[in-house]
Structures are given as C-alpha cells and as structure tokens.
C-alpha cells in the first residue's frame, strides 16, 4: 500500500477539505488562498544539509550561505563523502559557523560510512525518522519536521518549534501570548491527519501579515 503524499494533488485536496470542515478560523484562510500548489522534492542528504544551514537564520542569510557551500562542490551537488573530506576552513570561509560545521561533519560522516541510510528513511514512519535522525548532532525536531514536510511530503507534520508557525497561530486565533507546544498540539487535534496542510497555510498567513 502506497504512503499518502502531499505532492499528489488529490491527497492535498483531501487535506484542504478536511481542514475547511474542522476549523472555522483556518477555513477562512484556506478559502482566501485557494488550493495551493505544493511540490515536496529534493535529495535527503542535500535537504538535511540545507535545513542545518538554515537553522536560526532568516531566509536571505541562509540562502546566501547555502549557495556558497554548494559552490565548493562540482555542479553545486552536496555529497556526503565529499563533504566529510572537505576541510573545515573551506566551510568556515563559506560563512558556516563552527557549531554548524560540527553538525555537517557528523551528518556527512555517518552517511558516508553507512551508519545512516537516508533513502531507507523514505519507508519509515514519521516517529521512526525522528528517532533515527536524532542520532545526528544538531538535527532536532525542527530539522526533521522540515524534511518530513518539504522533502517527503508527509501529510501530518506539525512543526511546533517553528517560530513562524507559533506567530501565525497567535495572529490567526487572536491569542494574547505566543502559544506553547501543548497549546498548539491541542489546537491541532482537529487538523489531524492533515496538520501539514494547516502548517503550510499558517506559514503563508504569517508571511503575509
């Protein structure tokens, strides 16, 4: 049996209809924007590297560093073996912090040595993926949620640690304070099993605010 994937327009539409019926506040937002086009894509290693490089950075700064790191490698391709052999000074010259260099070295080393099979993750359940990648230095829930949603297209991802999600929910539901993890999870009970769809529209709402 094939796994539900939000890259399938029919699956995305099912999630869109589910959210509209289950959450009146979000329904207005969905109707405002309509059914958006969503295309999860990318290679697992490259996606993880980009997520690590993007941690705690605004998009323009993150994109600049990602471009400089890609420029180190032929054709801009991020490869685990090549990265594991790249001198740290070259990554530092591309703007990567010492802490993130240690993360990239741990990730690339584990993948290059076969300690982690990234392609095997595609067949795992979400929680298994979280557990497997937790063994990589610097890869926490936020990074894994980005991979689950934007690379693997999993339909029920709720990035509770994402600042834009928290701000978007605060604005959308007129909360006095920014919601905590427990608040978001309780609110999201009505979104499951399509929390990913809700997350995508909340991101857009926060961006447009």
Q: Do 49 and 140 share a domain, yes or no?
A: yes
Q: Do 122 and 58 share a domain, yes or no?
A: yes
In order along its 209 residues, the chain shows pLDDT tens digits of: 578 899 999 999 999 999 999 999 999 999 999 999 999 988 999 999 999 999 888 889 999 999 999 999 999 999 999 999 999 999 999 999 999 999 999 999 999 999 999 999 999 999 999 999 989 999 999 899 999 999 999 999 999 989 999 999 999 999 999 999 999 999 999 999 999 999 999 998 888 76
Kindly report whether the global pTM for this prediction surpasses the value 0.85. Answer: yes
Q: Do 84 and 143 share a domain, yes or no?
A: yes
Q: Do 79 and 143 share a domain, yes or no?
A: yes
pLDDT of residue 209: 61
Q: Do 160 and 143 share a domain, yes or no?
A: no
State the CATH number of the domain containing residue 165: 1.10.1670.40
Domain that holds residue 77: 44-150
1 in a structural domain: no
Q: Do 134 and 164 share a domain, yes or no?
A: no
Q: Do 176 and 139 share a domain, yes or no?
A: no
How is 19-54 classified by DSSP, letter by letter? HHHH-HHHHHHHHHH-S--------HHHHHHHHHHH
Give φ, ψ of 84 to 5 degrees. -65, -25
Rounded to whole angstroms, the Cα distance separating 164 from 78 reads: 27
Q: Do 48 and 97 share a domain, yes or no?
A: yes
182 in a structural domain: yes
Q: Do 68 and 34 share a domain, yes or no?
A: no
161 in a structural domain: yes
64 in a structural domain: yes
- Shortest CA distance to 172 belongs to which of 23, 58, 35, 22? 23
Q: Do 28 and 68 share a domain, yes or no?
A: no
Q: Do 162 and 178 share a domain, yes or no?
A: yes
Alpha carbon separation from 172 to 131, 159, 191 (Å, rounded):
32, 16, 15
pLDDT of residue 27: 95
State the CATH number of the domain containing residue 91: 1.10.340.30
Q: Do 179 and 201 share a domain, yes or no?
A: yes
> What domain count does the chain have?
2
Rounded to whole angstroms, the Cα distance separating 159 from 181 reads: 9
75 in a structural domain: yes
- Whether the CB-CB separation of 62 and 87 falls below 8 Å is answered with no
Q: What is the dihedral of CA 123, 127, 128, 132, to 10 degrees?
A: 120
């Amino acid at each position: 049996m094939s796994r539900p994937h939000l890259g399938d327009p029919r699956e995305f539409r099912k999630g869109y209809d589910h959210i509209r019926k289950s959450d009146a506040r979000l329904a207005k937002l969905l109707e405002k924007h309509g059914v958006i086009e969503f295309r999860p894509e990318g290679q697992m290693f490259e996606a993880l590297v980009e997520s690590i490089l993007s941690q705690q950075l605004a998009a323009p700064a993150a994109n600049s560093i990602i471009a400089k790191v890609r420029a180190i490698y032929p054709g801009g391709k991020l490869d685990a073996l090549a990265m594991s052999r790249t001198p740290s000074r070259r990554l530092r010259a591309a703007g990567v912090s010492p802490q993130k260099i240690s993360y990239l070295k741990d990730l690339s080393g584990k993948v290059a040595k076969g300690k982690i099979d990234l392609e095997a993750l595609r067949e795992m359940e979400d929680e298994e993926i979280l557990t497997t990648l937790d063994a990589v230095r610097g890869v926490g829930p936020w990074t894994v949620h980005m991979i689950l949603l934007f690379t693997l297209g999993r339909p029920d991802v709720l990035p509770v640690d994402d600042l834009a999600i928290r701000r978007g929910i605060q604005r959308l539901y007129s909360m006095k304070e920014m919601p905590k993890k427990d608040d978001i999870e309780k609110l999201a009970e009505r979104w499951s099993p399509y929390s990913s769809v809700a997350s995508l529209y909340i991101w857009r709402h926060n961006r447009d605010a």
